[in-house]
Structure 1
Amino acid sequence: MRTRSNSAPRQGCPFPAYAHHRPGGSASNLTGRRFREKELLTVAGRGQGSDRGSESQSDYVGRFRAGRLVDNRPQSLDAWRVTMASPDVAAGVASLLGGEPVEWETTAEDSLEVLTDYDTVRITVEGPSAVQARMLLFGYKGQVLHDCDGARLLAPEADADKPCGCPESIEERRLAAKSGRGPLPSIGIGFKLAEKPALGRFRFVSSSWELAKTVADFQRALTETDGPTTCDLALELVELTTASGVAVRYRKTGRPRTG
């Protein structure tokens, strides 16, 4: 597996970028903070179009993903998967990161995918506005039942800015979500590929609780940098064998590393 980054100094990266790859694996690391995601496929994206007064799906040319569905079952990947609508963008991603543009089954506009050869990609984040955090609860038909920023409602418009009623602590929120009564994190990060910024802006979306704990710190760190921040977006898979001998592969959210 290859790493698409170099040893040149990072410009204003708030945390030291690092990445490693374990055979067969993937989890995410952004700007030197490792976020091992429990979810193979994140829930976010379904609510992206409802960002109040902010960016919409059309602001991005593609999305970086850590997994895919095979026979309706989630499958983790060794390297980044990128989906997009434009054949030109697909060709540009393939020329930089390897892989071939192919069509995949979806009802969304990003009907092309590239299974790249890289588990680490150098990216440029413009600033704190490129990071959007919210809490979303979906109904069984996929409709948004709750949309907030953890303190105040974001939608519907008539209820915007009213207190959302979510518990203050992350652990209480996690328990509420586990019981089906509370929303899950939906954190989106917009960025450009450092080696091909002309391709446009891409997006990575996570429902990691650990990222939800630290996203405010991440945004503040981006505020303190002078200009765009160049970092590494990386994948790492967690694999283990239980005491009963069952092999398990999953993405686990770990504490951020800043050095």
Structure 2
Amino acid sequence: MVQILEREELVGRIAAEEWRGGRRVGLRSWLLTTKSREVAERISELYQGEVVRTTAGGDSHVRRLHARGIMVTVARVAHVRRRLTLESRQGLVHACDGSRVLPPMPDEGKPCGCPDDLFARRAAARSGAGPRPDARLVFYLAAAPELGGFSFQSTAWQLYESLGLVLHESRRAGGPVQMELVLREQRMATRSGLDVSCTYPEAHSVRRTSMVKSALHLAA
């Protein structure tokens, strides 16, 4: 099973969603959170960062990044986790890859019973009867790998689907690979005729990178 290595020391996290009213909602721009003022300022220079807030004492710096895409470097496949999960008040009750049950569930390896059809999967997730995407990455910014590692997490179906190709290409390439995280805006009309839009992340442009090995070492 592919897992994010929890012991790794990261300098910050980048998000494309936030909690509102008990559910995750897509953002129109990237959101950086870091404890380092230097990291916040450097990334603001790279991606037109805008100060959102700084906690008392400067323990946390939050920046809104005005960039459509961010090129990142993933050191190894183990830094990408792509699964479907369902949780209850008691915690995790289901984890799978769409066909087989994944750890830490006791029935690991058995058929998960999820529908093969993507539309049916989404419908089950919306009703609360089926699992939702849980996609997580640990990466370096390709433009500034010396800053250290960052994390990214999303529940977007679009990222979950695009990461399937990313993982396939990563295994073929071997070693560190680069991908571009992109924010897409989708417009649609509701049944009542109201125009609405939503923003979601996708992963694209996978290729092998020749970055120096020492620059890709994540501190334990």
Same fold (TM over 0.5): yes
SS across alignment from 1:195: coil
1:78–1:119 contact (8 Å) kept in structure 2: no
Separation of aligned partners in 2, 1:162 and 1:87: 45
Does residue 1:81 correspond to 2:31, yes or no?
A: yes
CA deviation digits over 1:60-102, x for unaligned, max 9? 3222222445788876544321122333432332232232362
CA deviation digits over 1:118-174, x for unaligned, max 9? 2222222223222211221122x4732223344123125xx2635263325143433
Separation of aligned partners in 1, 2:102 and 2:134: 14
Matches within 5 A, 1:33-44: none
Matches within 5 A, 1:51-200: 54-56=4-6, 58-68=8-18, 76-97=26-47, 98-100=49-51, 102-103=53-54, 111-139=60-88, 141=89, 143-150=91-98, 151-156=100-105, 159=106, 161-163=108-110, 165-167=112-114, 169-171=116-118, 172-200=120-148
Separation of aligned partners in 1, 2:66 and 2:153: 20
When residues 85 and 225 of structure 1 are mapped into structure 2, their CA distance, relative to the original with a 3 A threshold, is same
CA deviation digits over 1:17-53, x for unaligned, max 9? xxxxxxxxxxxxxxxxxxxxxxxxxxxxxxxxxx986
Stretches of structure 2 lacking an aligned partner (at least 5 in a row): 207-220
Q: Residue type of the partner of 2:86? A: L
1:170–1:213 contact (8 Å) kept in structure 2: no
Superposition TM-score, scaled by structure 1 size? 0.61
CA deviation digits over 1:168-187, x for unaligned, max 9? 51434334323312211111
Superposition TM-score, scaled by structure 2 size? 0.70
Stretches of structure 1 lacking an aligned partner (at least 5 in a row): 1-50, 105-109
Q: Residue type of the partner of 1:147? A: A
Does residue 1:232 correspond to 2:180, yes or no?
A: yes
SS across alignment from 2:31: strand
| Aligned residues: CA RMSD | 3.7
1:124–1:193 contact (8 Å) kept in structure 2: yes
2:13–2:151 contact (8 Å) kept in structure 1: yes
Offset at residue 190 of structure 1 (A): 2.2
Q: Residue type of the partner of 1:133? A: R
1:152–1:161 contact (8 Å) kept in structure 2: yes
Separation of aligned partners in 2, 1:68 and 1:53: 23
Task: Determine what percentage of the aligned residue pairs are the same residue.
Answer: 27
More strand by share: 2
**Count of aligned pairs between the two proteins:** 200
Deviates more, 1:235-244 or 1:66-75: 66-75
